[in-house]
Amino acid sequence: MRIEYTKGERASKELMMLHREASEATSGRKMKVMLIFPPDWFPSEPYLSLPSLTAVLRQAGHTVIQKDINLEMWDWYFSEDFLKKVLRRVPQQLDRLRKLSKKRDLDAGEMDLQMALCDLSRKRIEELTKKAEKAKAIVRGELFYDIDKLEWAIQVFREVTSVISMVYAPARICMPPMQTDLSYKVFVSSEVMDAVNDTQVNVYRDVFEHLVKPVIEKEQPDVVGISIVLQQQMFSSMTFCALIKQHFPDIHVTIGGNTVTRLRDVLPQSPLFRYFDSAVVYEGETAFVQLVSAVGAKRSLADVPNTIYKDAIGVHTSATSYAEDMATLPPPDFDGLPLEKYFVPTKILPYLATRGCYWGRCEFCDHGEGYTAGYRSKKIQDILGEIRYLRDKYGAMHFHFTDESYPPALFRKLVRGLVESQMGIVWTTHMRFEKSLLEDQVWQDAKDAGCRYLHFGYESGVERVLQLMDKATTTEVMTKHLKYTAEAGIWNHCMGFFGFPGETREEAWSSVQFLEANKNHVHSLGFGTFDLGRHNPVAKNPDKWGVTAYKNPEWDLALDYYYTVKDGMSIEEAERVFEEFERNHNSGWDLRLFIREYIFLYIARFGLQKLPELQYQAAKIVGAAPTLAGKM
């Protein structure tokens, strides 16, 4: 099914120009804007939303302070300053447990925590501080490329975050993987609000006091914008919003990003709106610039597209939407971000040449919900020029092309352009299995152009299921893609899932068998189970798919639903298949590294010959292991 972009009245370019001219004529003084990227996200590269907004705001003459608070938070966590703070919180946590024990018996976990807190001495914190600083030095330096030392550093990060968790319990702080849990439901507004005010578990209150509040006091911004990409970031974002409004009530606070767009239908009624003044949905560049100008001129936000805002009367939604003209957007501006502090030994810069997905028909996918228009692209000469500009300005030789799926024709042009211009960069991006790219020379050109790591939308290895999904590819095409990319020396990562409505258990096993048959050409996998997303095509057409969704009215911020199906595997059956897959599969897919940017950097440095060192090979096992399909 082709995505429909019926999201408000589309504003024409002419209307937007009139709005822009009127905005500039009445905007008054130029504004100071602070942009925040909140926790939790792995701090391996900047997220593109802040640099993209910074570029258009500075182009309009506004002053911008962009703060990757997520990065700064992790850097602070692994420091002497923060770990001393952890030690100071130990008596407070012990006192909480003592009071709790007078009300009821402590459970086993609480008693273990009590014992562990008693062992958390000054000497232990000093040792941990030294290890944390050494771990940061490893991931930021040449020792990163020693897999044993890198693995040690990652384990230190886990050890430190487990100790931090002790004093914020029952919250759990974890990195990596990014699994911080404040013990509240992120999909319920009332629980998010409870978390905001919980001084015991909410570590983000301390992050605000140390990293956000001092900068606001120093810079005195007129507007603060927060980009919320993952729903998990709602906890930190709402904490920041609430505390900004408490300490700096005159600052206009706005939120935006993918999660905000997905919640656009419920935000106007949500009690969370008390914490911020406006929300920008869909694409944000033009809308945010006009919002900043309107705030500066003390005008109504009614004419600002893609906006939900409140005034003295209530909360309102803009009647118009706007999709960006890619040709008019400047390249991202990373000035002001501490690029040397990311947890990588060399800069990786994100770059986006397209908006939307050129295919846009996958029945499980709701990425199109982030846009009000279909697929658009910059011209290849502009793409190459901007990549060269970013390379030269920031001294970056590693790029992550974050396009949802790189179009085949544009991919060919990009590859040829990078080769002919001798750009000298290395890069990674996301692809579909396309018949039009089945030529050896395409992939040799891609390797020569610097392509080192590709994420493929695999989904399933069964053609009937692929047809249900409207993937428009075949197992033959996938097999050749995997073979050609591997033989060219390009790492391929296959992303798939079990449990698409109608898929049987036998078909799930066949999907695994396909991967087993191609294991010599499949380097890594990322698998999960099907989610019935709030906005995906299956949720919008449940009768077509024989799906019944169960929506709890109290879970007002839910982005996916529990469901049952008439045909195929249930949620529980799909999860059992996934668990079996996790326990039994080709051991070559078990990697010592699972952070995608880290794998990318290793392949960029060493090529595929480093693969055996990245694997958890069961050296003690003698004889051939049975296939995953056989085990299942």
Domain boundary, last residue among 269, 292, 326: 326
Answer yes or no: is 554 within a domain.
Answer: no
CB atoms closer than 10 angstroms to residue 530: 23
DSSP 229-281: -SGGGHHHHHHHHHHHHHH-TTSEEEEESHHHHHTTTTGGG-GGGGG-SEEE-
Q: Is residue 340 part of a domain?
A: no
Instruction: Give residue 179's pLDDT.
Output: 85
At residue 10 the predicted structure's pLDDT band, cuts being 50, 70 and 90, is low
On whether both 468 and 583 belong to a single domain, the answer is yes
410 domain residue, yes or no: yes
Quote the mean pLDDT of the chain: 93
Domain of residue 172 covers 74-187
64 and 134 together in one domain: no
The Cα–Cα gap between 453 and 443 comes to 12
Backbone angles phi, psi at 337, to 5 degrees: -85, 135
> 98 and 149, same structural domain?
yes
Contacts of 343 (CB under 8 A, 6+ apart): 42, 43, 44, 74, 136, 139, 140
Give the number of domains in the chain. Answer: 3
Both 57 and 183 in one domain: the answer is no
130 assigned to some structural domain: yes
Residue type, 310: K
Other Cβ atoms less than 10 A from the Cβ of 298: the count is 8
For residue 435, being part of any structural domain is answered with yes
Q: Is 337 among the domain residues?
A: no
Let me know whether 430 and 357 are in one domain: yes
Q: pTM value?
A: 0.94
| Range with the poorest average pLDDT among 17-26, 265-274, 278-287 | 17-26
Boundary-marking domain end, from 187, 204, 239:
187
Q: Which residues contact 266 (CB under 8 A, 6 or more apart)?
A: 556, 557
- pLDDT confidence of 623, banded at 50, 70, 90? very low
| Residue 19 sits in the same domain as residue 143 | no
Do 103 and 35 lie in one domain? The reply is no
* Domain endpoint, select from 168, 187, 206: 187
Q: What is the CATH number of the domain that holds 449?
A: 3.80.30.20
- Residues 183, 217: one domain? no
- Tell me, yes or no, whether 585 and 463 share the same domain: yes
Q: What are the tens digits of pLDDT across the range 429-471?
A: 999 999 999 998 999 999 999 999 999 999 999 999 999 999 9
**Span of 195-209, 355-369, 375-389 with lowest mean pLDDT:** 355-369
Which CATH number fits the domain that encloses residue 245? 3.40.50.280
In a domain, 155, yes or no: yes
Residue-wise pLDDT for 292-349, tens only, equals 999 999 999 999 999 999 999 999 999 999 999 999 999 999 999 999 999 999 999 9
What is the per-residue pLDDT across 133-182, written as a single tens digit (0 to 9) for each? 999 999 999 999 999 999 999 999 999 999 999 999 999 999 998 889 99
Residue 212 lies in a domain: yes
Examine the domain organization and report whether 527 and 608 are in the same domain: yes
- Do 177 and 205 lie in a common domain? no
- List, for residues 490-525, the tens digit of each pLDDT value: 999 999 999 999 999 999 999 999 999 999 999 999
